[in-house]
């Protein structure tokens, strides 16, 4: 999957296979960066997760997409409501991590151009020690945020900066 010029596609979240969702959320490398993930994903939990993400679209008019690289499942990402704002979530299989910038740009383009979101935040757990890429993309530091007792570093990007 890690090749230059990879084709990024963002598809409706309902197109994610339950097996792919479970595989992603159970990957030990991925879980290192998901401090809120406390239990193993089976297909029943994956179905509930997928339904919850689809509900975001009907209730808020935005939500995450399935991410494909060169036709293969790579993860999921997109805006999600967090404390009254759109927050960028991106969870990728380790073999897709080298494509994070291209995937992020695709997600931001759709969020700002198609969904007309005025800004987006991004919450990174402290385990993500490399955070300078956020600023290179145009995000600015915006304090810290705590969810369920877990601390996150918050960044923000305004549509004009994208």
Q: Which tens digit of pLDDT belongs to each residue from 100-153?
A: 889 999 999 999 999 999 999 998 877 765 667 788 888 998 998 887 787 888
Percent of the chain scoring above 90 in pLDDT: 64
pLDDT of residue 2: 47
User: In order of start, what are the domains of the chain with their CATH numbers?
Assistant: 8-116 (3.40.630.30)
Q: How far apart are CA 85 and CA 80, in angstroms?
A: 8
User: Which structure tokens are listed for 87?
Assistant: 């927050």
Half-sphere exposure of residue 4, counting CA atoms within 13 Å on the CB side? Answer: 0
Q: Residue 31 in contact with residue 129, Cβ under 8 Å?
A: no
pLDDT, tens digit (0-9, with 9 covering 90-100), for 41-96:
899 999 999 999 999 999 999 999 999 999 999 999 999 998 889 999 999 999 99
**Would you say 10 and 124 are in contact if contact means Cβ atoms under 8 Å apart?**
no
pTM above 0.95, yes or no: no
Q: Of the candidates 156, 86, 100, which has an alpha carbon nearest to the alpha carbon of residue 128?
A: 100
Residues 6 or more apart from 13 whose CB is under 8 A from it? 50, 53, 54, 57, 63, 64, 65, 66, 76
């Amino acid at each position: 999957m890690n090749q230059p010029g990879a084709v990024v596609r963002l598809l409706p979240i309902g197109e994610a296979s339950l097996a792919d969702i479970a595989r992603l959320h159970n990957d030990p490398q991925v879980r290192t960066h998901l401090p809120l993930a406390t239990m193993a994903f089976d297909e029943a939990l994956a179905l509930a997760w997928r339904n919850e993400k689809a509900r975001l679209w009907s209730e808020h008019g935005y939500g995450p997409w399935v991410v494909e690289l060169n036709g293969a499942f790579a993860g999921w990402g997109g805006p999600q409501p967090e404390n009254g704002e759109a927050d960028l979530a991106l969870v990728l299989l380790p073999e897709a991590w080298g494509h994070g910038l291209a995937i992020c740009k695709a997600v931001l383009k759709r969020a700002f151009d198609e969904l007309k979101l005025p800004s987006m935040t991004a919450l990174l757990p402290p385990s993500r020690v490399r955070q300078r890429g956020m600023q290179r993309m145009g995000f600015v530091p915006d304090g810290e945020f705590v969810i369920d007792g877990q601390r996150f570093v918050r960044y923000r990007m305004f549509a004009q900066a994208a």
